[in-house]
């Protein structure tokens, strides 16, 4: 999917209500091409909920979300990768087969070899995902972002389970995505290793 020359992701007066309580209200931000937003705050403040709203997995209680300059025929969710806490992998499939499954399912059509190299998984390509460590499983999830081009990355604690080398590799992947004009919104407790504006959510209610 080609990155548009002029692309902007924005939220205005956004509200989220879950389990009968307001998680956050009147939230707003605007993110342009090649920019990253680090969403910070204590547990329960709504970091994951915000990402799920952007990914189309939750409906906002108020406000609106817009992606300007993207493909007018596609929703924001169809132009975004959402990486949650769980690594969406099939344990019986190999590393290569998992990545190929996602490419076929999401209509990527790209050769997965570049993504395997970028995430350091080439030597594990024919190993079933069931035998991967937690950090290797996370890298395989990140390989989906690299192997199937989408302009918006929505990342929930992307460095979780990664060792220091894996975190460095993640920062390189995110930096390359931004350099190519992509956008990143990441919920995180730790530094991302890239230049990012910060959106701090309040304490849990």
pLDDT tens for each residue of 143-162: 999 888 899 999 999 998 89
In the predicted structure, residue 110 carries a pLDDT above the cut 90: no
Alpha-carbon distance values, 22 to 12, 38, 65, 165, 181 (Å): 16, 22, 18, 38, 34
| 134 strand-pairing partners | none
pTM: 0.92
Domain 8-200 has CATH 3.40.50.300: yes
Domain boundaries, the chain: 8-200
> Rounded CA gap, 20 and 165, in Å?
42
Give pLDDT, residue 76.
94
> Per-residue pLDDT tens for 15-73?
999 888 888 999 999 999 999 999 999 888 899 999 999 999 999 999 999 999 988 89
Q: How far is C-alpha 87 from the geometric centre of its chain's CA atoms?
A: 12
């Amino acid at each position: 999917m080609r990155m548009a020359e002029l692309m902007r992701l924005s939220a205005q007066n956004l509200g989220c209500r879950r389990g009968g309580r307001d998680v956050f209200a009147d939230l707003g931000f605007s993110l342009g091409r090649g920019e990253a937003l680090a969403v910070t705050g204590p547990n329960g403040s709504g970091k994951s909920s915000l990402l799920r709203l952007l990914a189309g997995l939750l409906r906002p209680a108020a406000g609106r979300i817009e992606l300007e300059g993207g493909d007018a025929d596609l929703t924001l969710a169809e132009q975004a990768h959402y990486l949650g806490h769980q690594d969406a992998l099939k344990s019986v499939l190999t590393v290569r087969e998992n990545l190929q499954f996602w490419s076929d399912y999401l209509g990527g059509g790209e050769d997965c070899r570049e993504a395997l190299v970028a995430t350091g998984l080439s030597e594990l390509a024919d190993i079933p995902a069931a035998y991967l460590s937690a950090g290797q499983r996370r890298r395989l999830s990140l390989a989906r972002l690299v192997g199937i081009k989408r302009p918006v990355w929505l990342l929930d604690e992307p460095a979780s389970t990664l060792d220091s080398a894996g975190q460095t590799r993640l920062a390189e992947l995110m930096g390359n995505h931004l350099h190519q004009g992509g956008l990143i919104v990441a919920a995180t407790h730790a530094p991302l290793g890239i230049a990012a504006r910060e959106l701090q959510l309040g304490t849990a209610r």
